[in-house]
């Protein structure tokens, strides 16, 4: 189910401290027009925001075809926040380490992941992620 997109002045769900219209909004709206997130971190943030907003088509379109699921059903989480711990890109490969917080059936959860990205044909794609176990 697609949720209503944020208003122009609403803060971005990725917690960048920018308005949605100046942060993830252009990537969500511009995908069909060939406007793509310029870095692995920008793509990861826009994918987090897409989970928050229920934008399944965006998530599938930004997943590299070699690892993308054929279909995607979003879990009934209430997303609470995102913290980017590290982001880097070298050539056509990128890595972003982040912690996403959510609530599932009243229980707070924390997902710590190291995600891999690849640039193909001038745009970044999510490849996969490795969950970092809680310590």
Q: Decide: pTM greater than 0.95.
A: no
Query: Domain ranges in the chain?
Result: 20-131
pLDDT at 3: 46
Pairing type for strands 78-90 and 93-104 reads antiparallel
* pLDDT value at residue 71: 93
Cβ(87)–Cβ(99) below 8 Å: no
Q: What is the pLDDT of residue 7?
A: 58
Architecture, CATH, for domain 20-131? Roll (3.10)
Residue ranges, the chain, pLDDT below 50: 1-4
pLDDT at position 14 is 96
């Amino acid at each position: 189910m697609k949720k209503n997109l944020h208003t122009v002045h609403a803060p971005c769900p990725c917690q960048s401290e920018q308005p949605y219209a100046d942060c993830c909004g252009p990537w969500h709206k511009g995908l069909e027009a060939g406007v793509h997130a310029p870095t692995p971190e920008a793509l990861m943030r826009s994918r987090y925001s897409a989970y928050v907003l229920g934008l399944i088509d965006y998530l599938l379109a930004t997943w590299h075809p070699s690892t993308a699921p054929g279909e995607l059903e979003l879990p009934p989480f209430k997303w609470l926040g995102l913290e980017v711990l590290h982001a880097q890109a070298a050539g056509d490969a990128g890595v972003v380490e982040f912690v996403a917080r959510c609530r599932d059936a009243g229980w707070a959860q924390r997902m710590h992941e190291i995600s891999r990205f690849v640039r193909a044909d001038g745009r970044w794609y999510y490849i996969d992620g490795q969950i970092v176990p809680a310590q």
